[in-house]
Structure 1
Amino acid sequence: MKTHRLFVLSPLALALGTLLSSTNALADDQATPSNDIEEIVVTGSYVKSLEKAIDLKRVNIGFSDSIVASDIADFPEQNLAEALQRMPGVTIERNKGLGQKVNVRSLPSEFTFVSINNLATASGSGGRDVEFDMFASEIIQSVTVKKSPTAADEEGGIADSVAITTARPFDYDGRQLVVSAEGAYNDISEKSDPKFAVLASDTFGDWGALASFAYSKRSNRTDSNSGINFRPLSRWLEKTGKSQWQADQAADVLLRDTGISINDRKNKDETSRVVFLDKVGDRAYLTEQDKWGATLSLQYKPSSELSLTFDGLLGNFDNHEDEYDAAAYTASSISSLEKINQYDSATLSDYGITVLTDVDYAATQHEFLSKENSQDTDYQQFSLTLDWQLAAWKIYGIVGYSGAEKQAETTNLKHTAYRPTRTRYTSTGGETLPSSNPNTFDMYNSPDAYLFDYYEVNQEHINDDKYATQLDFKRDLQLDFFPALAQIQFGVRVTDKSKERDYGTNRVKGPSEGDSSWVGVRTLADSQLTDISNLVSGGEYLSEVDSKVNWMQIANSYARNELRYTGFSVAYEPDQYYKVKEKTLALYAMADFHFDIATMPATLNAGVRYIDTKVHSSGYHQVQNEDGTTGFTAKPVSKDGNYKETLPSVNFALELTDDLLLRAAASKTFIRPALTDIAYKRSVSLNEFKYRDGNPDLKPTYADQWEFGLEWYLDEGALLAVSYFEKEIEGVVRESLTGVVNNVTKYNDNGTVDGIYDFDIYQKVNAEGSYDVSGIELVAQLPLSYFDEMLSGFGINANYTVLDNSLTGASDLGIPTPPEGLAEETYNVTFYYENQRFDARISYNYKDKYVERIERDMYPVYRNAYGQTDISLGYRVNDMVKVTLEGINILNEETTGYTLNPVFPTMYEFSGRRLSLGIRGNF
């Protein structure tokens, strides 16, 4: 029987091929250096694909989980991240209704190492985390999540590694042509989007060729009452000179209305424990995305002993987002407290924090912001892979390149009105109302009051390049003097990575270059205004919320056409440039041992990996002009860094019975710091009174980890598994105060002096100490026919992960908080039914609350627990054609967040349901 391998065609892909025995699959896998189990063989049945995933889990030496082509195909998804979310221990981070980043075992996304065809993936971000939204899932063949690394793995990651593969021509038996098409509808934007994919593969004697292409378009509207955050009262209490009245008035009103007396206005530990709402915003987004991906695989395979393969992966992700924001910034530079209507000193009393929940402000800065966010990312990956059986040796080699180039443009058209108004918390966020001051106004319906500030255009260009060369040797052994030693393997890998960034900005303030005649003169009413529901399409703003607002705003298309004068351009600024280079040499050796304990077969894999890393970073430091003029001067700087590490690993499996398997694993692993964090540069944040410095001396974050588990393989493809794991994580990268620059003059947008302040210097450092993460993971795949034949075709596929972690003090106020991105509880449950003609699935994914960021390095901001329900229905018209109906977020769950406690919400966001109808076929 020949091996068949399925190319993924999203929810509309047709799962092809026949199921191969686990023995043959394992034999094929021995050609790969790291036991990746690259040959993924499936049928057109979702049930059979689950059974195959179990086979792969069983034969792997370490803890792992896999999804295969039809498993991905049988669920609704918008990109690769969403295709992975139903794997045990895997959750995703969503952004405006779209899965964007992957978390494994609830740890932060930057702790996950991702590879495609054994090459580390590039991305357009500045971090190590991968932007999964730029990958079309249609071009992906299989995914394996490795939860216990071997020495042969390039880097284990702390949260574990995600290994992605694409298809090759000899994975199929003869000629294949697979096509699919789909239309999807979003119920908020009320727009329909197309998606299609095609794959063609054939073999010609010793040669084979495979090509695939996938395209999708996505239009999605998101309504959000968001942007709400704490601001410490030090904002005004530290004012001096001509602004002294703001400090005095804030202190007097605080004492009068709450009884709180400030003893030292310069003591941040005291003044930061009285907070108010810095901003309340109503936002509407319209996101339009075009994405395509293509693969090409050319394979020369004259025999089972030799295979030479070229794999190419190309893709483009064009993301355009219109954002319209009606916002009130209570902490304006000319404002102060006027009257405290309500405050809360009880909810956060454990931290000594009083929240001013309902306040009249003297001069809130009201803004209408029309913003465009455009990103165009080109992705490419090329590799040449050798699999060669030379006498008793199996040789594996790869030479490859992975690159991403991102061109981004953001615009912001800003109109401002300073008026006394009232801002307060609501059950879902916050709102701004007219105050009792006679000079107040209705911020949503007073376009004549808003004056033009500027129309700003920012452009950014990022190049991310990664080169790799690897050579591995493997040999099976049968030694009379050491019969337990079954295999040895060793190899070397060299990588060269670089990330380069350019950035520039230009502001329009008048009808021509250098002209500022519009500033403070032109009003919002002088431009063409459009109702918010027409700007983003789809009807009334935040229709799910009882408290509704409506306003008119300037369209981004109008701003682009009318406000950019002839000859307008944006030049890259030398002081915004940085480049980071990273070169690594890795050597490894490991061995497999097969032996019996009593009458129970055992397998042991033990090895060690040595890594030598060199870093060169260059950029600029921004320092205030020494000649007394307004602004900052950039000085070029560069620095080298390096680190070396030895990473051991052990994986053990023991067959207690034919159906019951015990596993154990232990390893030391790391994840490297983000390239943007090691870029040697200094940037200034005027609003936060901070400098931020890069740090080329950053070291990786390390983890000592171990795991113990039992896996019970039952009849009819059933599985019950439980494992306990612990990770001791040290060297976590945190932003820390490393210095102070005294007497920095801060200027307002109009050039006037805001004040003279001491600016803190913050830098990413490896935090001292460590924290522990432990957890239990449960997996249950149960065809219900196992209990009763009357339930044939029904089944459940579920997994649950719960974590316990020691808290860390990432807050400058000493507020204990878990690591950013870590959720304590996640689970996925899928109920399914399948027969020869019809299949149905309903899936629920849940992720517990987690810290999204530390606001101003003081106040933890949480993303609330989120659960989403998706469905999939399929009807097979004949052996070649299948029709599908699928739904994403069918219960229309909202995304919410809060600061420290849910009574202080930060966001309330709707992205709507998404329904799709499609057809797929094999010809």
Structure 2
Amino acid sequence: MQEGTSLEKRLTSAMAVLAVCHVGAALAQERAPAVVVSGKRASLASAQEIKRDGIGIVDAVVAEDIGKLPDISVTDALQRVTGVQILRDRGEGAGVAIRGLTQMETTLNGREVFTAGTGRNLDFADIPAELVAGIDVYKTSSASQLEGGVGGTIDLRTHRPFDFSGRQIAGSVRAVRGDLVKRTQPQLSFMASDRWTTAAGGEFGVLVNVAHQKRAWREDQKSAGNPVARTDVVPGQTVVVPSGTSETTSLGDRERNAGGFALQWRPDRALELYAEGSYAEFRTVQDSQQINVSAAPTFVAGSPVLFPGTADLKSITWTDAPFSVLSFARDTTDRTRQIAAGGRWTGGALTLTADLSRTSGTDQLFFSGPYFAGTVARFTQDVATTVPATRVAGTNLLDPANYRYTGIGYRTRPYDGGLTAARIDGTYRLENPFFASVSAGVRLARRSAGNAPGLIYADTGVSGLSASDKPGYVMPNPYADFFPGQGVPSIGTFLVGDLATARDAIGLRRAFGITAAVPPSASPLSLWAIREDTRAAYVTTRFQGAAVDGDAGLRVVRTRERVAGSQAVPTTGALAPIDVDSSHTDVLPSVNLRYRLQDGFYLRGAASKTITRPDFNQLSPSLTLVANTVTPSLNQGSAGNPDLQAVHSTNLDLAAERYAGPTTSMYTTVFLKHVDGFVTNVAGPETHDGAVYLVSRPHNGRDARIAGAEAGYQQFFDTLPGWMRGLGVQANYTFVHSAMSDGAGGDQPLPNLSRHSANLVGMVERGALSARVAYNWRSKFLSTYTNVVGVGALPVYLRGYGWLDASVTYRLSDRVSLALEGTNLLRTVRTAYYGVPTRPQGAWINDRQVGLVAMLRL
């Protein structure tokens, strides 16, 4: 505590000295210019100008272009950037990867920002799209940029009052309806900005921006279960059979509440000061109804059918198959806050900048609900269809007497994190025909993360009660229309838990005679607290000749990590505290070159070394165990490794770019990354408290090679005749090949990386009409590995899929516009399989969302 106080005092003192000397604050990396242009294609021109004028390789999306498609969050907007791939969660964009790497640096106005949890980065799904002025994706590195991203850096830029020439007021009202959930929810946004001339001749500006989003959603998921090797299905042959089916309908609301303010003061030409802050809250409220039917020891004679030429089971009818029903409420809440102050001072050839910021965040999970079990007389499954077909017969699943209560689930889990950071930068313009300037800076930061009181796991068994004994807690499944429109039979009609009381978790437990108090804390083995101090310094020079310009620099970073937790003594099983204190220094050179072959035609080259520090849960020595009360063989656990080292990458990029007009360009890039010490998890059985768990632990050591190419093109076809004038197109394609050592002399691809991905956007800008149709596609990719007893480690592949969004906007006047929007218009079904297509893993379907929007600008 004393060390933390002294660091904050030093940071505060440094800022005070800067204020006295009229030194202002700046961004953690060079802020992309605020290009303010008008006209129907302003957004494309702004983004293209940012890409063209950057010394490194950067892609940009600006606010107006984000608003022309129905992008709910920043993640949705990122999916169309060349080289970026995203995952899907509840019908929205989820995880983000740059060229296949999720190890990136995330910043807000150049300052490091994060979502509290086990990782280091910001979850871009937390941020409403309306809150940003632009998004810059840096694929190459400069010494002045924050370290931490072997994949790259994504910077979110928010509006500032000096971005506008005067008063600016804008807002929107949106109503969005999901066709599966059959509910409509509102979304609102508002921004007000103004600037004034002070009595002393300076300028002062104020900006406020807020957004509220609520979206009703539904997701249906169907799984065939893990493959199981059996010798009793076909005489004399080992057959791989699906272990059953898992059919889940989840629905609820996703709510984002976010806001920010910015103050700017320019007392004279030399000095500019600012203060700004932001808050983002992202809450998911979820009700899930899940039925699981397992493969049984017995089956109907003659019913097993194999896929031709394989030992994989295609269809079968099991008899006396056990089933379980899990009904639960699962709610999560992320909160992130950041406040900062600083400015910029320029005197002659010297510019000094500085920044002081404080970021904090929390993440919380709540889980509660009843569990049931029973047996069905016959269970038939056929996994040959895209969505596996399932049926039950011989047992009335609407009869409460066929269900017995097995337990009441209850879990909570918090995360918290904090960051105090300060930096000072200086740039001196040189009177030299080639070397234009030299820049240097330092940054001090303290990052903290913890999970106390940990995962409170208080699932409690219930015995001796059937559903007919307490009929008030069950009801017919209201979502019997499972996977609508797919024409594949599912169980659908069965009893589920009534979740009206699930969020009164203590009351629900008492209703079933559970009087044991919920533990105030998880096992000390699962708790961890991490503090990380970094001190970084850099120097870089900007050079500019007749046809070539660029920068070259060196960044040196000293990192000290202190990891605290507990571990079990192997001989006695007693708990002992663990406190690991380590430090290391990284030297990160970089160079970026841009060669102007002719007007509008550039060649670029970049080389750098970058790092990413391990995630916090990977560093933690603590052990988390999650017992499965229904199927103990599925007991799982996870633990960290405080001896993990940072991941290092050596990067090379070459690009060619052609700019033929304000909104017309084409480009191609090839890149190569060699990543050392890639962190991977190794799972193995461990016995704890007499029970066997499959425990996953991270290790360094694997190397990875990522090589690929990107290409993009955009243009409006203004020379076309008649109604075709105003048509335009944006298209990009990314190829990425990855190979990671598997530790046994072979290679495997990186997880969640598609070899091919592409975006195609058709555009119309004609008078008062603006329209966009956007198709995002990615090819098959490795999702994860699953260890299956008797079968071994199986890769899980998600098949390639496309996602179609569209928007049509009509401008009623210079101040009012109306829009009709649609997302997931194809109602895409995503499917996965274990290793080969004849071993299906799961399928997912989400809502088609349609929205009406009214936009006002004063």
Length-normalised TM-score, structure 1: 0.82
Alignment CA distance shift 1:817-1:880 (3 Å): same
Cα distance change, pair 559–886 in 1 and its aligned pair in 2 (3 A): closer
Distance of 1:499 and 1:337 partners within structure 2 = 52
Measured against aligned partners, the alpha-carbon deviations of 1:559-612 in whole angstroms (never above 9, x if no partner) come to 45562328865522242321111111111111111124xxxx101311111111
SS in 2 for 1:528: helix
Measured in 2, the distance between the counterparts of 1:44 and 1:322 equals 45
Q: How do 1:51-70 residues align onto structure 2 when only pairs under 5 Å count? A: 51-70=45-64
1:656 aligns with 2:597: yes
- Residue in 1 that maps onto 2:89: 95
In the alignment, the residues of structure 2 paired with residue 490 and residue 615 of structure 1 have an alpha-carbon distance, to the nearest angstrom, of: 25
Residues 339 and 359 in structure 1, CA contact (< 8 A), matched pair in contact too: no
Paired-residue identity, %: 23
Query: Which of these residues, 516, 527, 543, is aligned with residue 593 of structure 1?
Result: 543
Say whether residues 1:557 and 2:500 are aligned partners.
Answer: yes
Note if 1:522 corresponds to 2:466.
yes
Instruction: Give the corresponding residue for 2:534.
Output: 584
Quick one: structure 1 residues 31 and 680, their matched pair in 2 at CA, closer, same or farther if it must change by over 3 Å?
Answer: closer
Secondary structure, in 3 states, of the residue corresponding to 1:892? coil
* Alignment partner of 1:451 out of 404, 424, 438: 404
Q: Displacement of 1:420 after TM fit? A: 6.9
Which of 903-912 and 454-463 deviates more?
A: 903-912
Spell out, residue by residue over 1:630-669, the C-alpha distance to the aligned partner (whole angstroms, 9 max, x if none): xx86543232233321111111001111121111111111
Which of residues 397, 400, 412 is equivalent to 2:357? 400
Using a 3 Å threshold, how does the CA distance of structure 1 residues 147 and 634 change in structure 2: closer, same or farther?
Answer: same
2:837 to 897, 902, 907: 902
Distance of 1:420 and 1:361 partners within structure 2: 8
Q: Could you tell me how far apart the structure 2 residues matched to 1:624 and 1:355 are?
A: 42
Contact preservation (8 Å) 1:457, 1:570: no
Where does residue 326 of structure 1 map in the other structure? 291
Identify the match of residue 151 of structure 1 among 122, 127, 143: 143
Post-superposition CA distance 1:757-797 (Å, at most 9, x none): 6x6764201133x2322111111011112566874311111
SS across alignment from 2:149 = coil
Per-residue CA distance 1:164-185 (angstroms, 9 max, x = gap): 1111111112222112111111
Task: Give the aligned partner of residue 665 of structure 1.
Answer: 606
644, 648, 655: which one aligns with 1:698: 644
Aligned to 1:375: 332
Rate the CA distance shift 1:610–1:411 in 2: closer, same or farther, 3 A.
same
1:410 maps onto 2:360 in alignment: no
| 2:266 aligns with one of 272, 284, 301 | 301
Structure 1 residues 415, 74: CA separation in 2 closer, same or farther (over 3 Å shift)? same
- Report the Cα distance in structure 1 between the residues aligned to 2:86 and 2:256, rounded to whole angstroms: 20
After TM superposition, the structure 1 = structure 2 runs for residues 322-471 of structure 1, keeping only pairs within 5 Å, are: 322-330=287-295, 342=304, 354-358=311-315, 364-418=321-375, 422=379, 424-426=381-383, 427-430=385-388, 433=391, 441-442=394-395, 444-445=397-398, 447-471=400-424
Residue 853 of structure 1 corresponds to: 784
Residue 731 of structure 1: CA displacement? 1.2
Superposed CA RMSD: 3.0
Q: Distance in 2 between matches of 1:489 and 1:532?
A: 68
SS in 1 for 2:372: strand
Matched, 1:572 2:567: no
Matches within 5 A, 1:224-373: 224-226=221-223, 228-233=224-229, 253=232, 257-260=235-238, 275-330=240-295, 342=304, 354-358=311-315, 364-373=321-330
Query: Is the 8 Å Cα contact of residues 602 and 654 (structure 1) preserved in structure 2?
Result: yes
| 1:660-697 CA distance string (max 9 Å, x none) | 11111111112221111101112345635776431111
Distance 1:641 1:447 in 2: 58
Alignment of 1:730 with 2:724, yes or no, is no
The equivalent of 1:708 in structure 2 is 654
Aligned partners of 1:42 and 1:69 also within 8 Å: no
Match of 1:81 among 75, 81, 86: 75
Residue from 877, 881, 891 that aligns with 2:812: 877
Partner of 1:182: 174
Partner of 2:856: 921
Contact 1:40–1:142, Cα closer than 8 Å, also in 2: no
Please name the residue that 1:475 is paired with: 428
Residue 889 of structure 1, CA deviation: 1.2
TM alignment of 1:134-213, pairs within 5 A: 134-155=126-147, 157-205=149-197, 206-213=203-210
Gaps of 5+ in 1: 1-28, 234-249, 261-273, 349-353, 435-439, 510-515, 627-631, 748-756
Whether the 8 Å CA contact 1:677–1:695 is kept in 2: the answer is yes
Give the partner amino acid of 2:521: Y
- Is contact 2:558–2:584 with CA below 8 Å preserved after alignment? yes
| Contact 1:208–1:300 (CA under 8 A) maintained in structure 2 | yes
Q: Distance in 1 between matches of 2:294 and 2:456?
A: 23
Q: Secondary structure at the match of 2:125?
A: helix
What is residue 32 of structure 2 aligned with on the other side? 37
Separation of aligned partners in 2, 1:508 and 1:278: 24
Q: Which residue of the other structure, out of 648, 661, 665, is the alignment partner of 1:719?
A: 665
Measured in 1, the distance between the counterparts of 2:484 and 2:112 equals 41
Range that drifts further, 180-189 or 557-566: 557-566
CA contact (8 A) 2:118 2:615 kept: yes
Distance 1:33 1:184, change over 3 A: closer
Q: Does 1:839 align with 2:770?
A: yes
> In the alignment, what sits opposite 1:888?
823
The one-letter amino acid of 2:275's match is F
Q: Does 1:819 align with 2:728?
A: no
Q: Tell me, in whole angstroms, the C-alpha distance in 2 between the residues paired with 1:120 and 1:546.
A: 48
Who is 1:784 aligned against?
717
3-state SS of the aligned residue for 1:563? Answer: helix
Q: Deviations over 1:291-319 (max 9, x none)?
A: 11110111111133211111100121221
User: Conserved in 1, the CA contact under 8 Å of 2:562 and 2:579?
Assistant: yes
Instruction: Report SS of the residue matched to 2:667.
Output: strand
Deviation at 1:442, TM superposition (A): 3.5
2:437 — aligned with what?
A: 487
Q: 1:281 to 1:412 in 2, by over 3 A?
A: same
- The structure-2 alpha-carbon separation of the partners of 1:827 and 1:573, relative to structure 1 and needing over 3 Å to count, comes to same
Tell me if the contact between 1:188 and 1:539 (Cα under 8 Å) persists in the aligned partners: no
Distance 1:102 1:355 in 2: 34
Code of the aligned partner of 1:657: Q
Matched residues in 2 for 1:194 and 1:365: separation?
43
Distance 1:444 1:815 in 2: 49
- Provide Cα deviations, 1:514-539, integer angstroms capped at 9, x if missing partner: xx7x41333367333666663x6x96
SS for the counterpart of 2:356 is strand
Shift of 1:374: 0.8
**Does residue 220 in structure 1 map to residue 155 in structure 2?**
no
Q: Which residue of structure 2 aligns with residue 505 of structure 1?
A: 456
**Worse-superposed segment, 339-348 or 66-75:** 339-348
Question: What are the within-5 Å matches in structure 2 for residues 15-30 of structure 1?
Answer: none
Amino acid at match of 1:413: P
Q: Which has the higher strand share?
A: 2
1:244 corresponds in structure 2 to: none
Q: CA separation of 1:74/1:98 partners in 2, compared to 1, >3 Å: closer, same or farther? A: same
CA shift, 1:921, in A, is 1.1
C-alpha contact (below 8 Å) 1:42/1:68 kept by paired residues: no
Check conservation: 1:615, 1:696, Cα contact below 8 A. Answer: no
CA distance in 1, matches of 2:763, 2:425: 42
Aligned counterpart, 1:772: 705
Deviation at 1:430, TM superposition (A): 3.9
Moved more, 678-687 or 31-40: 31-40
Question: Contact conserved, 1:224 with 1:542, CA < 8 A, in 2?
Answer: no
